Amino acid sequence: MRAFTCVEVILVVCVAAHLAAQAPQAGGGAPQADQDRSQRLYPALQRPPGDPELIARGQALYGINCRACHGLDLRGGDLGGPNLLRSQLVLRDRQGEEMLPVIRDGQSGADGSGMPPQPLSDADIRAVVEYIHDVLSTASRQGGPPAGDEVEIDILVGDAAAGQTYFAAKCASCHSPTGDLQGIGARIPGAQQLQNTWVRGGARNADRPPITVTVTQSSGERVVGQLERLNDFLIVLTEADGRHRSFSRHGDTPLVEVDDPMATHRELLPLYTDMDIHNVTAYLVTLQ
């Protein structure tokens, strides 16, 4: 056996000293205790209600694509899919980040059975995910996760100051705490309802602001009105004087520009974390 060279000995000593210096830090980092209380609960039970239209579409897609394997009530089906209401993966899921890859790419099971990839667009998968979350939030006491008795109380765990910062960054381009949203915390009774209202962008049965559309024909003539119907072949609108106009579409002709005031609300939906939602709600409650 050869002797250690001097360099090796120094190296070993250095590494040992380095590790020793690091050791106390490893256990003593910033405490995570203050982390979102709701993160220790099941995210799936902490969600605001989803978009009813999306849920309905998801339910239909679930019936066609998933039901045979996962069952009508999501608790497992004839063709061997597991109970989704008990799945840790489903319970961990917030916005589809856990479920989407499994649904899109499939997942092979331990016994070689597994779940085949589902031929659905990402938008369709999101609808199914929304449906599964909706069922979870309403239906899963029996055989489900521990009872969600904190849900109602948990609504106000947010940090109003953080919510104000978030509001300034993401909402203030359209809303103002001293303008349209003045007193909203007093106007809408209860944190839960307030939260549902802002996430959805209005009360459940509120009239949505109309979608405006501008059609520019090849002659250069522009027609502006309220959108009634739009698909690949046809656009129908109502002009300010109440006249209905329809145009057939061939690719980009005529040019169609849609202005949907609620588009941003929909686009923000998948971006909120639970924390953002709690914080913004805590802030809006202070607008009395």
| Interface positions with ligand HEC (CB under 6 A) | 65-66, 69-70, 79-82, 84, 87, 89-90, 99, 102-103, 107, 109, 113-116, 118, 120, 128, 167, 170-171, 173-175, 180-181, 184, 197-198, 201-203, 209, 261-262, 264-265, 268, 280
Provide, rounded to whole angstroms, the least separation between the CB of residue 92 and ligand HEC: 9
Residue whose CB is less far from ligand HEC, 46 or 281: 281
Residue whose CB is less far from ligand HEC, 90 or 215: 90
Q: Residues 270, 255: contact at Cβ < 8 Å?
A: no
Residue whose CB is less far from ligand HEC, 140 or 254: 140
Residue whose CB is less far from ligand HEC, 63 or 146: 63
Q: Residues 227, 211: contact at Cβ < 8 Å?
A: yes
Q: What is d(CA 155, CA 197) in angstroms, rounded to the nearest whole number?
A: 13
Q: Residues 205, 193: contact at Cβ < 8 Å?
A: no
CA 133 from chain centre, in angstroms, equals: 10
Q: What is the residue type of 205?
A: N
Residue whose CB is less far from ligand HEC, 211 or 216: 211
Q: Residues 282, 158: contact at Cβ < 8 Å?
A: yes
The full length of the chain comes to 288
Q: Residues 144, 133: contact at Cβ < 8 Å?
A: no
Q: What is d(CA 164, CA 276) in angstroms, rounded to the nearest whole number?
A: 10
Q: In whole angstroms, how far apart are CA 97 and each of 44, 57, 118, 134, 270?
A: 12, 19, 16, 16, 10
Q: What is d(CA 253, CA 250) in angstroms, rounded to the nearest whole number?
A: 5
Q: What is d(CA 82, CA 63) in angstroms, rounded to the nearest whole number?
A: 16
Residue whose CB is less far from ligand HEC, 223 or 268: 268
Provide, rounded to whole angstroms, the least separation between the CB of residue 114 and ligand HEC: 5
Q: What is d(CA 10, CA 191) in angstroms, rounded to the nearest whole number?
A: 63
Q: Residues 88, 98: contact at Cβ < 8 Å?
A: no
Provide, rounded to whole angstroms, the least separation between the CB of residue 220 and ligand HEC: 29
Provide, rounded to whole angstroms, the least separation between the CB of residue 56 and ligand HEC: 16
Provide, rounded to whole angstroms, the least separation between the CB of residue 246 and ligand HEC: 26
Residue whose CB is less far from ligand HEC, 17 or 262: 262
Provide, rounded to whole angstroms, the least separation between the CB of residue 241 and ligand HEC: 23
Provide, rounded to whole angstroms, the least separation between the CB of residue 282 and ligand HEC: 12
